[in-house]
Amino acid sequence: MRIAKLYCIALFLVLAFGLSSSTRVPHVRKHYLKFINNLSNKVLNVNCKNLNPYIDLNLHILLPGEVYEFNYEITRTMNFSCDLRHGFTSTVFSIGDKDTKRACGGNHCIWKSQDDGVYLLNRRTKQYKFMYKWGK
């Protein structure tokens, strides 16, 4: 009988400490990205990469009106940059820095490519802001 009580106490302590330690697991934050091809009858090439650790999300070819989305876990070393191209013009920019997250209103950023450049949606104001001009 005494051993059964000890087992019950031990089981209670394991469950109590086991449950409380699981609440200390850090919450993983993610960054969500969407790219929209709003070019006039042109194909948009999207290629995003992270350098440390090296991650290449490969080339994604978007026809007019198509969308490409991805997400990643936010860490101190993650800072993706994306190369957007159409025809012989392109622009390369960072998508994970604090200024960009602030400009889009959080961790859900929506980029729209148009003939004059690349726009970022501010989710709080629901307005697109011109961000990058197409280069040569």
Do residues 15 and 8 lie in contact, with contact meaning Cβ atoms separated by under 8 Å? no
Asked whether the CA dihedral 100, 105, 110, 112 is positive or negative, the reply is: negative
Q: Which residues contact 58 (CB under 8 A, 6 or more apart)?
A: 47
Q: Do 84 and 62 touch, CB atoms closer than 8 A?
A: no
Sign of the dihedral defined by the CA atoms of residues 100, 36, 80, 27, in that order = positive
Please give the pLDDT value at position 36: 98
Q: Give the pLDDT confidence score for residue 23 in this predicted structure.
A: 52
Give me the tens of pLDDT residue by residue for the chain, a chain 136 residues long: 666 565 656 555 555 555 544 455 556 678 899 999 999 999 999 999 998 888 888 999 999 999 999 988 877 777 889 999 999 999 999 887 788 888 988 889 999 999 999 999 999 999 999 999 998 7
Residue 106 CB coordination number (10 Å): 12
